[in-house]
Amino acid sequence: MFKDQSYKTKWIKEKAHELGFSGVGIAQAQFMEEEAENLRKWLDLGYHGTMSYMTNHFDKRVDPTELVDNAKSVICLMYNYYNPEVSRSSDYKVSMYAQGRDYHKVIKKKLKGFFREIETTFGQFSGRYFVDSAPVLERDWAKRSGLGWIGKNTLLITPQKGSYFFLCEMIVDFALDYDAPIDDFCGSCTKCIDACPTNAIDNAGYVMDGSKCISYLTIELKEDIPEKFKDQMEDNIFGCDICQEVCPWNRFSTPHSEKEFLPGPQFSALTNNDWENMTEAQFDQLFEVSAVKRTGFKGLKRNIKFVKKNK
């Protein structure tokens, strides 16, 4: 039976919430002119640091039809990872998003099932789904789809919900009803700018020098952490949540309900001594299915050594 565009849109949004996604918005698939200009400026300033992959596939980053032929819609989704009840036996900090199972694996599985349900209900279509795994400007698409605005800390902020969300997308070759962007509600607030210990956020906000961000320094950077950042790491050894912790909008954050994002008892019980004396075998066992694996054993030990030395 023929299903019209509005019905399909309504069905997709209801199904997204049924599957546990915290928000869903839909944008028209088209070339991102303004975002392309901003990305080019950001790269020219060298704010990507040693992340040379950011210069690859520029056209794909700003044009969804380069990823899916005849793309018409970008379905944007959010998945909550906020967990305020994390107990730690150590001073060393791991970003909240990385304390449970690797989100790529958890969300990709959900997206795969969602994709198949759409196909089963409405028939075959061409499309792809992404979880931080392809050259997709996910925050910009989420903004275009009305899920929130990109704040001064350069993260997507959703009214009455905050920013502790993973973002993912489906790019598909069928039309849907499209959502409109919403206003920016950062106002005159500068809490994230003032709180960033490495001054990675531009004084006016909205631009991040990635090469100064603690997340970059502890995860992406493969060389030694520059000494100029000593006394600025605030015990972070994998990622950083400071600009989210101080954001007033995150007072609306609510705990997630995803069991796989909860840290295991072994992780929560790690002491300073456990971190400092961790062996590679222990690292492999503890972080086998964790995003922390991205930094590698040597990278994590480098981070711990740098933080400890500058305490």
pLDDT tens per residue across span 215-253: 999 999 999 999 999 999 999 999 999 999 999 999 999
Q: How far is CA 193 from the centre of its chain?
A: 19
- Which residues, 6 or more positions from 74, have their beta carbon under 8 angstroms from its beta carbon? 26, 27, 28, 29, 64, 141, 144, 145, 169, 170, 171
Contact 215, 239 (CB under 8 A): yes
Residue 99's pLDDT is what?
93
DSSP code at position 167:
E
C-alpha dist (Å) from residue 176 to 4, 73, 112, 265: 9, 7, 20, 44
Known active-site residue 91? no
Residue 298's pLDDT is what?
98
**Has residue 135 been placed in a domain?**
yes
| Average pLDDT over all residues of the chain | 96
Average pLDDT on 168-193 reads: 98
Strand, helix or coil for residue 245:
helix
**Has residue 305 been placed in a domain?**
no
**Has residue 118 been placed in a domain?**
yes
**Has residue 248 been placed in a domain?**
no
Residue 257's pLDDT is what?
95
Spatial CA neighbour of 27 closest among 172, 141, 140, 155: 141
**Has residue 20 been placed in a domain?**
yes
pLDDT tens per residue across span 51-85: 999 999 999 999 999 999 999 999 999 999 999 87
pLDDT tens per residue across span 120-175: 999 999 999 999 878 999 999 999 999 999 999 999 999 999 999 999 999 999 99
Residues counted in the chain: 311
Q: Give the DSSP letter string of 36-63.
A: HHHHHHHHHTTTTTT-GGGGTTHHHHH-
| Range(s) of the domain holding residue 106 | 5-84+101-172
Residue 206: pLDDT over 50? yes
- The alpha-carbon radius of gyration of the chain (Å, integer) is 20
Specify burial of residue 174 (Cβ count, 10 A radius: 0-12, 13-18, 19+): middle
**Has residue 140 been placed in a domain?**
yes
**Has residue 132 been placed in a domain?**
yes
pLDDT band at 3 (very low <50, low <70, confident <90, very high): low
C-alpha dist (Å) from residue 178 to 74, 114, 144, 167: 9, 19, 9, 18
Question: Count of domains in the chain?
Answer: 1
Average pLDDT on 206-223 reads: 98
Residue 182: pLDDT over 90? yes
Among 44, 63, 91, 132, the active-site one is: 132
Range list of β-strands (E), 98-187: 127-130, 149-150, 156-157, 165-172
**Has residue 47 been placed in a domain?**
yes
Residue 134's pLDDT is what?
86
